[in-house]
Structure 1
Amino acid sequence: MNDVKIVAIGGGTGLSILLRGLKLFSEEITAIVNVVDDGGGSGVLREDLAMLPPGDIRNCILGLASKEPVLQELFAYRFDEGRYKNQSFGNLMIAAMLGISENFEDAISKISDIFAVQGQVLPATNEDVHLVAELEDGTIVRGESKIPYQVLKKRSPIKKVFLKPLEVTALSRSIKAIEEADIIFVGPGSLYTSLIPNLLVTGISEAIVASSAKKIYLSNLMTQPGETDDFSIADHVKAIYEHSEVRFDFIVANNEEVSKEVKERYLKEASKMLMLNRKDRQYFSDQNMKVVESNFIEVRQGYVRHDIEKIVEFMNDHINKGL
């Protein structure tokens, strides 16, 4: 185990999978997680209880948890019938903890203690914030869960996203973690609805820019319908650059193909594999970014995801050697 201080920024299942790998490498991990989700079980609790969405936070707590599997299984349990159908027990537990805590950050800290989280999981902000997108045709879409649907409906890609209210403040603990970090990961995760929203929170991008840490973009494995249709890896990075002052030192990307059957399954859902092309390589070279590529892929039950063991191998092979 290393004493390297790592900050991982994102949301969704991508970040939680990354955290499962990072905790095998270091004990000093800070996950900074977006809080703009307004769909599914998180959206229901957000509307009913006027709380920040717990879903992505819940997944990241599980990613860094050290407690016995049965407790983790309980936290991840999702009801399959009745009024709570599709609701996660973990979401309800966070909601209950919020009721006896000072604020959302304090509630997450207490939950993290219960699960012996290796490091810390922090919401990007304690303030109630929503995501808004402007599409290329001028359409304004309010609400994270509505954005991909409207992109597909209008057949108009995202031009930019922003927060409402525009000015929301990052947690001081997040800023401190970024300032002290040796390595900062952005990604994997939904580009416009998981990654960029974190960077729009006042103080986070500025702290990343000022930090002496190595800044790494970990590429998604697939494009996302209604969000990054036909995007290349470089297009993902360009979108981050257009929304913030953050600049990366390294791009980490998968270079392993999947089977024809898996590829065709994703194509039916309008999702394509993301692999470096010639233009990507030229762009990253022009921007003085080092590209690290390897087989980072794992296929389980037909679904593509990052392989935890291979991520740990990457950490050992590259980070221990000073990248």
Structure 2
Amino acid sequence: MKIQQNKPRVVVIGGGTGLSVLLRGLKHEPIDITAIVTVADDGGSSGRLRSELHMPPPGDIRNVLVSLADTEPLLESLLQHRFVNGNGLAGHSIGNLLIAALTEISGDFVGAIEQLSHVLAVRGRVLPAANHSIVLHAEMEDGTIVSGESIIPKSGKRIKRVFIDRENVHGLQEAIDALKQADAILIGPGSLYTSILPNLLVPGIVEAIRESKAVKAYISNVMTQPGETDRYQAEDHIQAIHDHVGNSLFQHVIVNNGTVTDEVRAMYAAKGSEPVAYSEQNLMAKGYHIIADNLLIYDGFLRHDAVKLSQIIMELIGAKA
């Protein structure tokens, strides 16, 4: 009789749309997924709930839950629906309000996420990086300090570094355990300074990544982010991670070598964004194994091809096994 092997344990760290796109592809693979999500968001509906209810911001968590959920399109639309009218309701999404309600009922944010995960038949586990909300600060190149995740990219200044108030902030134990036990750890894609680094700055997270025996990869963004990574190449993203938390966090770098059409490039250039280029020579000189492929898909927005990216990741996991 053939003995069934345990599913490979894959931990993904990030936030925002990039993480959600990746997870939509990975959830169809025969793996055990844990998504570790930032709790630094302080804008929009999340920021209001964070401030008024003294709870961690639910927005990035909601997006990840929806991307991993095995639900009907109507339910997904319902969870993502944002009220346009209503005194106090305008701007809030139903998914955020559900997480807030479950947190109030159970008295526990992590428990609320777990309960909603069961309702949505989520394929995997979703965990906040920290035990509660964190405040993100940025020191700009001119020496000024800007506070607030939602404000930093709008400052009009180049970011030198980001940091958090570490007092009473600890990495969630479940997240740390998942990293230590992982077979693969994926960092990115996502906003470098406001999604990825806030996770890595939480005490205990980087230490757990280093301790893990997993195969570790950084997934480069396909486009730069205005106000955050203007004119950055892939190696600039990686250098920023090194500068904040040190070297040797991952062995592999996954980059896009597909070409953006002139029409799409012009559309993004008008918003201050451009394709993230990379230097194979520079990355190899730093000791990284480069995995380059045409990872672009355009559906009104440029995104990673989730199916192709998932195939690359499964090959990495297979190579480790």
What's the TM-score, normalizing by structure 2?
0.94
Q: Is residue 55–residue 132 contact of structure 2 (8 Å, CA) maintained in 1?
A: no
Q: Is residue 215–residue 320 contact of structure 2 (8 Å, CA) maintained in 1?
A: no
Structure 1 stretches of 4+ with a deviation exceeding 6 A read: none
Q: Is residue 22–residue 310 contact of structure 2 (8 Å, CA) maintained in 1?
A: no
Gaps of 5+ in 1: none
Would you say 1:29 and 2:28 are equivalent positions? Answer: no
What is the distance in 2 between the residues matched to 1:316 and 1:205? 23
What is the distance in 2 between the residues matched to 1:26 and 1:141? 43
Q: Tell me by how many angstroms 1:23 deviates.
A: 1.0
Q: Is residue 130–residue 165 contact of structure 1 (8 Å, CA) maintained in 2?
A: no
The amino acid of 2:135's aligned partner reads: H
The amino acid of 2:159's aligned partner reads: I
Greater Cα shift, 107-116 or 306-315: 306-315
**Identity, % of aligned pairs?**
46
Would you say 1:125 and 2:117 are equivalent positions? Answer: no
The amino acid of 1:171's aligned partner reads: L
The amino acid of 1:250's aligned partner reads: H
The amino acid of 2:38's aligned partner reads: N
Would you say 1:79 and 2:83 are equivalent positions? Answer: yes
- The aligned counterpart of 1:263 is 265
Q: Tell me by how many angstroms 1:166 deviates.
A: 4.7
Q: Report the RMSD for the aligned CA atoms in angstroms.
A: 1.6
What is the distance in 1 between the residues matched to 2:273 and 2:128? 29
What is the distance in 1 between the residues matched to 2:6 and 2:257? 27
Structure 2 counterpart of 1:40, from 41, 44, 48: 44
SS of 2:150's equivalent?
Answer: helix
The amino acid of 1:14's aligned partner reads: G
Would you say 1:106 and 2:111 are equivalent positions? Answer: yes
SS of 2:185's equivalent?
Answer: strand
SS of 2:290's equivalent?
Answer: strand
Q: Is residue 130–residue 169 contact of structure 2 (8 Å, CA) maintained in 1?
A: yes
The amino acid of 2:284's aligned partner reads: S
Would you say 1:142 and 2:147 are equivalent positions? Answer: yes
What is the distance in 1 between the residues matched to 2:253 and 2:124? 24
The amino acid of 1:12's aligned partner reads: G
Q: Is residue 41–residue 86 contact of structure 1 (8 Å, CA) maintained in 2?
A: yes
- The aligned counterpart of 1:308 is 306
| 1:215-260 residue CA offsets vs partner (Å, 9 max, x unmatched) | 1000001111111111110000010111113521000011111211
Q: Tell me by how many angstroms 1:317 deviates.
A: 4.0
SS of 1:231's equivalent?
Answer: coil
Q: Tell me by how many angstroms 1:318 deviates.
A: 4.1
Q: Tell me by how many angstroms 1:190 deviates.
A: 0.4
Q: Tell me by how many angstroms 1:148 deviates.
A: 1.0
The amino acid of 1:290's aligned partner reads: H
What is the distance in 1 between the residues matched to 2:313 and 2:153? 33
- The aligned counterpart of 1:157 is 158
Decide whether aligned partners of structure 1 residues 240 and 54 sit closer, same or farther in structure 2, where only a CA change above 3 A counts: same
What is the distance in 2 between the residues matched to 1:21 and 1:193? 23
The amino acid of 2:63's aligned partner reads: N
Q: Is residue 2–residue 26 contact of structure 1 (8 Å, CA) maintained in 2?
A: no
- The aligned counterpart of 2:208 is 207
